[in-house]
Structure 1
Amino acid sequence: MFRVLFVCLGNICRSPMAEAVFRDRVEKAGLAESIEIDSCGTGDWHLGKPPHEGTRRILEGQGISYEGMLARGIRAEDGERFDLLVAMDESNVKAIREALGNESKAEVVRFLSFVPDARLADVPDPYYTGNFEETYELISEASDRLLTHLLETGKVSAAAK
């Protein structure tokens, strides 16, 4: 089982969108038994709240479930439990490293690093920009590329279906 944790600031916009989109891709690929997916935030403003209405609207429009998702904060054990921590932006990378220190076994990457031809390095936060569609488009592309990366590098096996 390969474990992926998506991380943003408040865990109500970008990271739950990434969790839901990536889970949808993984399920459609028949790999749900091979990849565990979760999300969290580095801040504590929205703990226990469902995804932002903008995120819910985009996911509903795409037919992607976010059922049962509630915001949670990053925990020290996340660095041991998960194999890959996927940050939405550089400030999230720094916050993850501060929260987990150097003891974490998990690899920490920016999500858009899987899209080398992306016009941006970071997924913009629609909480501030209001552009949930742009965020969805970037997350969708990065989710496809992340899944391909996991299969191509052998971190997840298609035969595990």
Structure 2
Amino acid sequence: MASKVNVVFVCLGNICRSPMAEAVLRHLAARRGLEQAVVVDSAGTGDWHLGAVPHEGTRRELDRAGISYEGMRARLVDRDDLERADYIVVMDRANERDVRELIRAGGIVPQGKLLRFMELLPDEELDGVPDPYYTGDFEQTRRLVAAGCEALLDRIEREFSA
């Protein structure tokens, strides 16, 4: 891989979907020997959980899969995220709308691609990753996140290989 690739996952509160995706992508990148090439982070558009560790359901699913979430704390998406990321991956259309508004209002020019997570899984009928904070189905989220993160790494390897 020619250079570092920056990925930021964005959801609403940064305690369920986006930290799960951050942890899973880090884990999968390490398994592929890409831990030095792929820089992963996550953030939220809402400030309700700032500083909180991932949700108990997210931690439970990551523990089951043997995936670390050590040191992760909820935070807001910021200008730096939007300007430096090669991929800004939002979990649903509401997150996309919020991020597009932050970009517009801040006069930000993103260097990377803004995409909805489910674009990585075109065979799935879902439009967005369901929020397990409301559905309670953290296993479904982990399944979708794992498949989507594999697809994202495949894309990164194709687009950034030297």
* TM-score of the pair, normalised by structure 1: 0.93
Superposed, which structure 2 residues align to 1:2-151 within 5 Å?
A: 2-101=5-104, 103-151=109-157
Q: Distance in 1 between matches of 2:120 and 2:155?
A: 8
What is the percent sequence identity of the aligned residues? Answer: 50
- Whether the aligned pair in 1 keeps the contact of 2:11 and 2:95 (CA below 8 Å) is yes
- Whether the aligned pair in 1 keeps the contact of 2:117 and 2:128 (CA below 8 Å) is yes
Q: CA deviation at 1:106?
A: 2.6
- List alignment gaps of at least 5 residues for structure 2: none
- Whether the aligned pair in 2 keeps the contact of 1:126 and 1:135 (CA below 8 Å) is yes
Of 100-109 and 38-47, more deviation after overlay is shown by 100-109
Aligned-CA RMSD value: 1.1
Runs of 4+ in structure 1 deviating by more than 3 angstroms, as ranges, are none
Q: Deviation string for 1:18-39 (max 9, x for gaps)?
A: 0000110000000011110000
Q: Distance in 2 between matches of 1:72 and 1:16?
A: 10
Number of equivalenced pairs? 156
Query: SS state of the match for residue 47, structure 1?
Result: coil
- Whether the aligned pair in 2 keeps the contact of 1:42 and 1:74 (CA below 8 Å) is yes
Instruction: Letter of the 1:143 partner, please give it.
Output: C
Q: Distance in 1 between matches of 2:6 and 2:110?
A: 14
Instruction: Letter of the 1:98 partner, please give it.
Output: E
* TM-score of the pair, normalised by structure 2: 0.93
Q: Deviation string for 1:16-59 (max 9, x for gaps)?
A: 00000011000000001111000000000000000000000000
